[in-house]
Amino acid sequence: MEALSVDAIPAGEAWRYEPKWDGFRCLAFRDGAKVELHVDCELFSDRCRQFRKIAARAAGLRLGEVVVPADGAFSFDAILQRVHPAPSRIRKLAAETPALLIVFDLLVDATGELLTGKPLDERRRDLEQFYRKYCRGSPNIRLSPSSTSLEQAKEWLRRTGAKLDGVIAKRRDFNYRTGDRSGMQKIKNFRSADCVVGGFRYNENSPLVGSLLLGLYDRKNRLNHVGFTSTIKREDKPALTKKVKSLAGPPGFTGNAPGGPSRWATKRSGEWVPLKPKLVVEVCYDHFTGEHFRHGTRLLPWRPDKAPKQCTIDQLKQKKANLMTLLD
């Protein structure tokens, strides 16, 4: 079942709300002593090996999110490290940063009855009963909170601030509809930051700018590459290309630069033009983890009123919150 991205939490008695967790979707199956975890990422092709502790405690079939706790929140970068194929590396990471399975739906009950035809409210009731009987007390499996209160959904966003991925709203009367987005909506926590444009890339096979490379200064006064924005309107590209080409030249990024070693690096990762640090732009982003924006950002107003040196990484310090307090 898929979620539709919307800008505001839907209101009304038809909706049930849950926190949106920052991890990988997961289906957990158990048949006798055999357990399989189907994680929503093609890199986890051998199913259970990366999350053996969760698999060992899985007591049935349910839908949830695999997360890795870190400093009161959940670290997406830490969970990506489980992609590493070496068994010794996986054992080391499992000991250092144990993963959790946060459960939020039950698709088959303990007797083998298929529940996907039931409405969400009934599945939630069955899930809570199942969890109390089989999972309560497990250090690796937790129950996601759920509420029909709009105020509670708003409070989750307010109280947890930048550390929560957002809120999920689900239709209470809908059965489980694979691939359908009409009964589930996601509202994400978007924030903005002022960044220096430290470089740019051309559109592939084009003389026009395709994306701007963003930088923030650290406490040692180094400009580090933190992400990119490519939401440039087609009609704005000729003028913007002329503008950035006039600023082409060193120093570009004086700290971490684009094109460094990465398992996701492509040939184009190292193809970029450095710029003098003159341009400041505000961008909208959803996550800042591991010293970079996880996804591409959305271009907001240019900030000619802002000095580049004012664009420091300190502006992205997250509000302290402990998401573990939300879990059973």
Report domain extents, the chain. Answer: 1-19+148-189, 22-143, 191-316
- Determine how many CB atoms are found less than 10 A away from the CB of residue 206: 10
Confidence band, pLDDT 50/70/90 cuts, at residue 238? very high
Distances (CA, A) of 167 to 27, 89, 109, 157, 190: 20, 33, 26, 7, 12
- Determine how many CB atoms are found less than 10 A away from the CB of residue 326: 18
Active-site residue list: 20
Looking at domain 22-143, its CATH class is alpha beta
Confidence band, pLDDT 50/70/90 cuts, at residue 289? confident
pLDDT, residue 190, reads: 75
Residue 45 has pLDDT above 50, yes or no: no
Residue with tokens 């004086």: 254
Confidence band, pLDDT 50/70/90 cuts, at residue 204? confident
CB 291 within 8 A of CB 313: yes
Residue with tokens 């030249």: 249
Per 3-state DSSP, what percentage of the chain is helix, strand, and coil (rounded to 5)?
A: 25, 35, 40
Q: How would CATH label the architecture of 191-316?
A: Beta Barrel (2.40)
Residue 20 has pLDDT above 70, yes or no: yes
Phi, psi of 30 (to 5 degrees): -135, 135
Distance CA 126, CA 113 (A): 11
Distances (CA, A) of 20 to 74, 180, 231: 11, 18, 25
pLDDT, residue 123, reads: 97
Which pTM value belongs to this model? 0.69
Count Cβ atoms within 10 A of the Cβ of residue 26 and give its class: 0-12 exposed, 13-18 middle, 19 or more buried.
buried
CB 18 within 8 A of CB 167: yes
CATH fold of 1-19+148-189: Dna Ligase; domain 1 (3.30.1490)
Percentage of the residues of the chain whose pLDDT score is greater than 70: 85
CB 287 within 8 A of CB 76: yes
Residue 64 has pLDDT above 70, yes or no: yes
Look over the chain and give the mean of its residue pLDDT values, rounded to a whole number.
84
Question: What's the CA angle centered on 273, arms 271 and 278, to 5 degrees?
Answer: 150
Distance CA 241, CA 267 (A): 22
Q: Is the dihedral of CA 141, 116, 79, 217 positive or negative?
A: negative
